[in-house]
Amino acid sequence: MKREYHRWHSPSLQREMEMLVFGHGGLPVLVFPSSMGRFFDYEDRGMINAIAWQYESGAMQAFCPDSVDAESWYNKSAHPADRVRRHMAYESYILNEVVPLIRRMNPSGDILTTGCSFGGFHAMNLALKQPDIFTRCVSMSGAFEMRSFLNGHYDDNCYYNNPVDYLPALGDSWFMDYYRDSNRFLMAVGEWDICLSENQRMASIMHSKDIPHRLDIWGEQAVHDWPLWQKMAQAYFR
């Protein structure tokens, strides 16, 4: 399997950022780390090996950037407004630095976003906000309610990064045309998962907006952990 390491100084974040790329072609998949995770976690936790044949055959290519969650949502020493601004700088890094690199390395018109746990939030939030760039989303045990990170603070930046708030009010036909005509959203979660209710809530919101989506609740007492997500990868990325 082709494996590449990339590192550069990010103008958006004003710091060094690292990324791993697996595979040589096929569907480009942008993989967000879980809570405060690193760019190597997806590989270290067995997610790449779980579907290694997809990368070896050229069916898929995974792009695994680093996160700055510890500097944004999880940074309790910073004011909540600054936490969200740091998250927005991270989005700028993804959109203005990572996506162009993906386009240079892979000519496919589609980019799928995915992530486990908090990575599912990043995957879903960006897919909803940039449906012209990210045409598919597979969120595994994602978390979609951000108020718990904000200590009671709430401003426009918070609102536009809290999917369970902005999606119900969204009526712009540009977004809705993408959501309903060409994009695909899949949420997978375990029946004993700590994020089960958040996924059910997001699915209910999408249903109310007539947004095609799929909610899979995994049985057999499935919990919020890597063995479940490995099985999900094998089920959805084949």
Residue from 233, 228, 222, 164 nearest 193 by CA: 222
Q: What are phi and psi of 154, to 5 degrees?
A: -155, 120
pLDDT at 180: 96
Count of domains for the chain: 1
CATH number of the domain residue 146 falls in = 3.40.50.1820
Q: Are 51 and 232 in contact (CB under 8 A)?
A: no
pLDDT at 86: 98
pLDDT digits (tens, 9 = 90+) for 46-77: 999 999 999 999 999 999 999 999 999 999 99
Low-confidence ranges of the chain (pLDDT < 70): none
Structural domain span for residue 11: 3-236
Q: What are phi and psi of 41, to 5 degrees?
A: -65, -40
Q: Are 35 and 25 in contact (CB under 8 A)?
A: no
**Mean pLDDT over the full length of the chain:** 97
- Alpha-carbon span 43 to 14, nearest angstrom: 26
pLDDT digits (tens, 9 = 90+) for 110-146: 999 999 999 999 999 999 999 999 999 999 999 999 9
Which residues are paired to 137 by β-bridges? 113, 185
Query: Which pair of structure tokens corresponds to residue 16?
Result: 């060094």
